[in-house]
Amino acid sequence: MPTATQSDDNSISLTSSGLDVDEFIPLVSFKRDGLKNINISEEIFEYEEEKISHNKDEDNKLSKHIDYWNSRTYRIFERVTKKEKITFPLYITKGNEESEDDDGIITARLSEEIEGVKITSETDFKASYNSNYTLELELKGDKLKPFYVDFYAKDDEDDDWEIMDVTINDKTGKLKNVHCGRIKIVKKQACICTDTDWPILPNMVLDANKVRYAVTSVPWDNPECYHYALHQLSVLGYYLKSERWNKKWDGTKELNDYIYQLQVDHEVAGMIKGPQKIMFKKALVYLKKAMKMKTPVMIGLDYDVNTYANDDLITDHFAVITGCGKDSDGNLYFDVTDNAFKYQKYYCNCENFEISTKKPGSLEAKGIFRVSQVRESKKL
């Protein structure tokens, strides 16, 4: 701790154990107070409908002037976001117990210049211990690499000291660019389902014109669910651009140009088992366009009954998308008119690259139906 010493000529000098008495040594940390703790052991918090979590893989590389205990216990938190404008709540505390100066200047800097990334809050601001600061960032563009925001401190050099009834204007703060905090930002590509220009399209099929399996008369012999879905499409004045899944006629499997395959359970037509991420994005682009034009769209469904009668070796049922909207939580859904079952909502789960009956954020694990393919329509 600093001490005051009076000499024979009545002058006063200040000394400290290796640290100038007038240095400002803060610690800038994630302010978690009042936030919902989603996972206590993993230190994951909910903030602005997204997650801020402790990144255990990051090394703490703060200034040597941060004392041992603060440096050892410091946590680097990261926010994963899909938004273009975000904030990050921060709390400023004392980073070294020997620091007697309780205020100074903190500078927020990007770890590197990245096109589309900008700090929109104050980058140089006066701060004091036990105060709050909210970082504001603008993140334009989808393909941004992860980056850090670092915080550096310096003394504001405007402090007066009262010692033995003598006021000393001590402007001797020498430390500059004291690295006193770090956070990480990871920008994920926003899914098209979060776009604000999706239409609200009420279900175009009423009970009176719903096609029902084995009940409605259709113009095919021995019809299956495929034919009933196709008939539903025609009742609404549309048809498939192509009825064939396979582009080839020689038996070689190659996906038709007018079909978007979202899922496969086997390697087929050059596709690897699992979600088809590129096709998923293309399907959503098409579906938005179709819904805006009030165009019904025929889809293949995976009801997980392990029947592989169709070329894609996953589709075991067919239905028609006849409307769309967003629920109270902002989740995009599609109204699916199913010839064998009741109406259902299928949600866009962009993190899993699927459209399914599972609502985003739900813990539901059983009885989930997925859209396996999307087929383009044409007007009759």
Mind listing the pLDDT tens digit for each residue in 71-85? 999 999 999 998 889
Q: Are residues 80 and 216 in the same domain?
A: no
Q: What is the pLDDT of residue 29?
A: 97
Same domain, 291 and 351: yes
Domain of 49: which CATH number?
2.60.40.10
Q: 131 and 263: one domain?
A: no
Q: Of the candidates 134, 164, 190, which is a domain's last residue?
A: 190
pLDDT for the residue numbered 12:
38
Q: Does residue 346 sit in the same domain as residue 227?
A: yes
pLDDT tens sequence across 40-53: 988 999 999 899 99
Please state, in angstroms and rounded to a whole number, the distance separating the CA atoms of residues 54 and 69.
18
* pLDDT at 166 (0 to 100): 60
Do 248 and 364 fall into the same domain? Answer: yes
The pLDDT, as a whole number, for residue 17 is: 43
What stretches of 166-276 show up as alpha helix (H) in DSSP? 225-235
Rounded CA separation 360/153 (Å): 42
Of 127, 120, 45, nearest in space to 86 by CA: 120
Where does a domain end: 170, 190, 210?
A: 190
Residues 212 and 261 in one domain: yes
Cα–Cα distance, 235 to 9 (Å, whole number): 105
Per-10-residue mean pLDDT, the chain, length 380 = 39 44 89 92 92 88 92 94 93 92 93 94 95 95 87 78 56 80 90 90 92 95 96 97 91 92 93 94 97 98 78 94 94 95 91 90 77 97
The candidate with the shortest Cα–Cα distance to 318, out of 373, 263, 279, is 373
Residues 55 and 142 grouped into a single domain = yes
Do 170 and 201 lie in one domain? The reply is: no
pLDDT in tens, 124-178: 999 999 999 999 999 987 678 999 999 999 987 665 555 556 655 555 567 889 9
Which of 190, 210, 240 lies at the terminal end of a domain, its last residue? 190
**Pick from 214, 241, 236, 237: nearest CA to 227:** 214
**Do 358 and 250 lie in a common domain?**
yes
| Contact between residue 132 and residue 92 where contact means Cβ atoms under 8 Å apart | yes
pLDDT digits (tens, 9 = 90+) for 184-196: 999 987 788 888 8
Q: How many domains does the chain have?
A: 2
Show the domain range for 204.
Answer: 193-379
**Residues 21 and 100 sit within 8 Å (Cβ to Cβ):** yes
Q: Which residue has the tokens 């699927």?
A: 354
What's the CA gap between 227 and 302, in Å, rounded?
Answer: 17
Structure tokens at 206: 């009423």
Of 336, 42, 117, 47, the C-alpha closest to 210 is: 336
Q: Are residues 135 and 206 in the same domain?
A: no
Instruction: Give strand pairing partners of 300.
Output: 318, 373
Which pLDDT score, from 0 to 100, does residue 168 have? 56
pLDDT for position 83: 87
pLDDT at position 251 is 83
Same domain for 221 and 304, yes or no, is yes
Between CA 355 and CA 14 the distance in angstroms is: 69
Same domain, 18 and 71: yes
